[in-house]
Amino acid sequence: MVVSQSAFALMVFTDRLFLSRIDALHIASALGGGVTFFVSISLFLGVMSYATALVAQYYGSGQLQKCPRVLTQGVLMSLVSLPLLLVIAWVMGGLFAVMGHPPEQVVLEQQYYYVLMGGACFTLIKACAAAYFCGIARTRVVMITDVLGVLLNIPLTWALVFGKLGLPELGIRGAALATIIATTFSIGMYALFYFNRIHRQRFQVLASFRYDAGILRRYIRLGLPSGFETFIGAATFNFFLLLFQSYGVTEGAAMAIVFNWDMLNYVPLIGLNIAVTSLIGRYVGAGDMTRTNQVIAAGFLLAVSYSLVLAVLFVLFRVQLMEVFATPGEDFSAISAAGSQMMLGMATYVLADAIILVSSGVLRGAGDTRWLMNTSMSLHVLMLISQFILIKQLDCDPLVSWWGFVAMLLALAVIYLRRLLGQTWRRPSRLARVMAE
């Protein structure tokens, strides 16, 4: 899963690297449009992705025939959500101008955003399929599919952005279109594995194509809080990003580059988060809670070690890492100076990300999604209010706003760790309610 998510990080990284060769405005627009797209689908994506825990719990309890039924319910929900996604796209498309972005940036952000939203349903179906294979411990399938998707996406993005290989020069729209094409290709790859004869017979796949009220109710009951947690986290982050970009193109481009390097830490840890969720869900389903401590210890060892190494690199080579995205022939000194200072804050919070993602993976796998939702929503809304005051009311320096964002992540890590070390989520009566349909 770490390799799989790293492949996704590489795809986004190269997309923005190609766009940086046009100008700084394009990379800032890709960040704003891309994060707004994620916010727009985050509620649905959070619900669909909870299939990992559900499938793992059925897998651990030996109810293999119920595993593909979870995927069927997820695909049905993805298709039903399509009209609502279109309404969301119409509403959110006007957000960029409202946040005070320059008119030329608004045009680029909208182009990138609308193309991505056109393929949102494919993104949700792909997430359901990936979650299913994670739940049955076939993470190699996810890795193969994602790596092949990225190997298609990178050259296709290059060709569509710059008009190579006989394809039209679409600029920022080409980067978004290449993402949709690669996503559709990945769904086809998952179908090949899903309908493989051995897998089809073992999990009774052909008998799973039906509405299952019990599984759907459980999917919504446990997945909806997870979806709201994802949505609130993404929405407040997006509003913070758009608020921060109101400082100007220099600050917006600097943030885009810093978050691009942050993906090298955050996105692989998402893979570890998914793996932890799957393992915890399996042991919850099997009623073997003694193994959860081993999963927790292994997760923290991997996550903290990885993040610590990257934190050191982010501090030592912060200037050089910023210069990678310098636009040829343009003065990059102001962006580099701002981003180099922000890299110090990022080096501080990557360790907090490691703690948050391992802890949330454990709690999500054990079905503690309501607590995660309430806690995440409270802190993220508090962060957004404080950022609005700092940026719009007090007109603080960009670095003051940035370090306020860092402080919020540190506080979230401490609160999640306290919940993990407690016993509430382990109680047998609560776990019994989690498994009930």
Q: Over the stretch 112-167, which tens digit does the pLDDT of each residue have?
A: 899 999 989 999 999 999 999 999 989 899 999 988 998 998 999 899 989 998 88
| Mean of pLDDT values over 408-418 | 92
Residue 359 in contact with residue 346, Cβ under 8 Å? no
- Please, what is the average pLDDT of the chain? 87
| Mean of pLDDT values over 351-368 | 92
pLDDT by residue (tens digit) across 288-321?
A: 888 888 999 999 999 999 999 999 999 999 888 8
Instruction: Give residue 191's pLDDT.
Output: 94
Q: How confident is the model at residue 62 (pLDDT cuts 50, 70, 90)?
A: confident
Whose CA is closest to 401, among 228, 248, 278?
Answer: 248
Angle between helices 398-421 and 333-365 (to 10 degrees): 20
d(CA 178, CA 36): 18
pLDDT at 285 over 90: no
Instruction: Give residue 32's pLDDT.
Output: 78
d(CA 310, CA 292): 27
Instruction: Give residue 366's pLDDT.
Output: 87
Helical segments of 163-171, H only: none
d(CA 105, CA 30): 10
pLDDT at 71 over 90: yes
d(CA 3, CA 376): 27
pLDDT at 180 over 80: yes
pLDDT at 387 over 90: no
| Mean of pLDDT values over 45-74 | 90
CA torsion sign for 217, 39, 315, 411 is negative
pLDDT at 68 over 80: yes
Residue 364 in contact with residue 372, Cβ under 8 Å? yes
pTM over 0.85: no
Residue 24 in contact with residue 253, Cβ under 8 Å? yes
Whose CA is closest to 244, among 419, 136, 400?
Answer: 400
Residue 50 in contact with residue 226, Cβ under 8 Å? yes
Between these two residues, 49 and 241, which has the higher pLDDT value? 49
